[in-house]
Amino acid sequence: MEITMELFEKYYLLIARYVFVILAFFIFIEIKRLILYRQEKQRILAILNVGNGVEKIPITHYEVTIGRSSACDVVINLRFISKQHAVLVMNDSGYWNLTDTRFAGDIMVNDVPANDKTPIHMGDTISLSGVEMVIQPPTYDNVKEYEKALKKQQKKLSYCFRQKLKFIGRRDGSYTKAIVLLNIFQLLTCLQMFFSIDASYHTNIFISFAVLFVIPWLFIPLAKLLRLENLGAESAAFFLSTIGFSMIASANPAEIYKQLLALLIGIVIYIILCLALQNLDTIMKLRRYAAFLSIIILAVTLVLGSNINGQTNWIRLGPLSLQTSELVKVLFIFASSATLNWLFKSKNLRNLIIYSTACVGLLFLMGDFGTALIFFVTFIILMFMTSGDIKAIFMTLLVSGLGGLMVLSFRPYIMRRFETWRHVFTHMYDSGYQQASALIALASGGLLGLGVGNGFAKNLFAADTDIVIAMIGEEWGLLIAILVASIFLVILLGAIRSHKVARSSYYVIAACAAAGMFVIQTALNIFGALDVLPFTGVTLPFVSNGGSSMMGSWGLLSFISAALNYATPNEHQEVKPVDIGGDEV
């Protein structure tokens, strides 16, 4: 019997290495199709009839800027119209409101003074500084005219770029198919771990994987409650979590229950945020409180937190430790994103700079330089998306660079943390041992890997956290490691493309910031472990062992899911929009 099992184990791994790569590739394809290709078509929501028929402008977004600037959605080239004069927004009930961004109070609706709470119905006459326009329902002729204009624009695109767009959205993805493939992947992984992991941990591992097997199917009825039709981001999270759980089972199986609990709590946070994100009015009221709460959490952590590995960013709750910066990431994006009408009528850029500086400064004082860098890059993304002010961004980068040099001159010990960068093999028997071993492990795994539990990287310090990419490369192989990294790029591209159908700029800004945070964190984790960038010790989202990281990752995922799904108001629009044929988003 033992001989039979040994032969089975030997030939199983030989075959399974190829099967795992094939399954991972097809799972990746389904995730890509789910995230990058969506059924919503671009639609004409209403028509603005300007100047009694002089110009009929189609409205294709739920938030529309009106002004003299060529960057506005509706351009009225008259000298007494401001560059950004007003913002037309569809509210949660499906009716339009008009916000005066100049506070001049010159908005009239049917010759009656109006404010941003006045609902605008189809057929109403709107006056901006004396310029009259009538909002009308779209017609079939309007769609035909708009399609002709779109075709002219598309002809200007290069052939290669158009082919890339076709490739991105070639077919619709299937969540069910992705989960079936993932379940097969999980079952084969469990069989592999049966042979390679200590038998005393089999119960913990198999129970955890059984829960991980079932949870994706529970999301199908849950999606109806949360008004989610596209579960592409969630399927990506489940695949990444499967890889992560296998790495924990290999390196630290005693902590797999802790990670499972963190995943369940993270899903609860995700559900709460998805429910909250459905109501934009509530979000805008809570943003200020979220900002204050995040500053308080970081300040309390700085004063009362525990110092672990030179970083004072942990709060101990009995036997558990919570890395508060991971949860503050969610609050940071929640508070920093905004709807279009709020952006234009407030000093958002000033407030964003003050708030971000406070967060980054507190993280720096804690000694958490990796997370501080993640927050700073996310701040630059938010700054660009909320203002588009390149000069302000350049000045911010310049001042930050000078500030960094001043800090290094007063705190020279910080530079010593990076003295092994690009020289890990010179210091491979002291400070560079961890990264040098990670590079060796990644190389030893080859394209297909050695199998879960069969590598040596699992014995390194922080094997399943800061240098988890080395474990993935060694045990799963380079091909699956590349797919894992590529998923974060797909999520970012999906967040960027969501502007075509997302109902509010809040969703687009929040999704791009969250996806950007994932990408910069992934880059710091992978390139830091491989000595391409200085080693900062940040986690790989959904993959690394760490309850705080898992909970924070699911919180960030809710913003991306909102952008992919919340494309229409909660209620039916007053007039049914007209689809633009053939323009898949």
Tell me which of 81, 114, 138 is where a domain ends: 138
Tell me how many domains the chain contains.
Answer: 2
Q: Give domain status of residue 528, yes or no.
A: yes
Kindly state whether residue 158 falls inside one of the protein's structural domains.
no
The answer as to whether 576 is a domain residue is: no
- pLDDT greater than 50 at residue 247: yes
Task: Report yes or no on 537 lying in a domain.
Answer: yes
What range does the domain containing 77 cover? 42-138
Least confident range from 166-170, 355-359, 430-434: namely 166-170
Whether residue 251 lies inside any domain: the answer is yes
The DSSP bridge pattern shows strands 125-128 and 131-136 to be antiparallel
- Indicate whether 114 and 134 sit together in one domain: yes
DSSP 151-188: HHHHHTS-HHHHHHHHHHTSS---HHHHHHHHHHHHHH
Residue 333 and residue 391 in one domain: yes
* Residue 93: other Cβ atoms inside 10 A: 13
Asked whether residue 8 falls in the same domain as residue 62, the answer is: no
- Looking at the fold, whether 215 and 245 belong to one and the same domain comes out as yes
Residue 78, pLDDT score? 80
Q: How confident is the model at residue 105 (pLDDT cuts 50, 70, 90)?
A: low
- The pLDDT, as a whole number, for residue 168 is 42
| Spatial distance between the Cα atoms of 108 and 98, rounded to a whole number of angstroms | 10
SS3 letters for 286-297? HHHHHHHHHHHH
In the prediction, which pLDDT does 513 show? Answer: 95
Given 138, 156, 190, the domain boundary residue is 138
Question: Would you say residue 62 lies in a domain?
Answer: yes
Least confident of 143-157, 201-215, 451-465: 143-157
Same domain assignment for residues 108 and 233: no
Element (H, E) at 579: strand 578-584
Same domain membership, residue 114 and residue 187? no
Q: Three-state SS for 50?
A: strand
What was the pLDDT predicted at 315?
86
Same domain, 50 and 11: no
Tens of pLDDT, residue by residue over 113-149, are 877 777 888 888 888 888 888 888 887 777 677 666 6
Domain membership of residue 150 (yes or no) is no
Is there a single domain that holds both residue 396 and residue 456?
Answer: yes
Say whether both 235 and 109 belong to one domain. Answer: no
- Is residue 200 domain-resident? yes
Per-residue pLDDT at 585: 39
Q: What is the pLDDT of residues 491-502, one digit of tens each?
A: 999 999 888 777
Residues 127, 275 share a domain: no
Q: Give pLDDT, residue 582.
A: 45
Alpha carbon dihedral 508, 509, 511, 516, in 10-degree steps, equals 130
Residues 345 and 457 in one domain: yes
Q: Taking the CB of residue 79, how many other CB atoms lie within 10 A of it?
A: 5
Helix axes 390-410, 369-387, angle to 10 degrees: 160
Domain closes at, from 138, 156, 187: 138
User: What is the domain-level CATH number for residue 116?
Assistant: 2.60.200.20
Q: Are residues 418 and 474 in the same domain?
A: yes
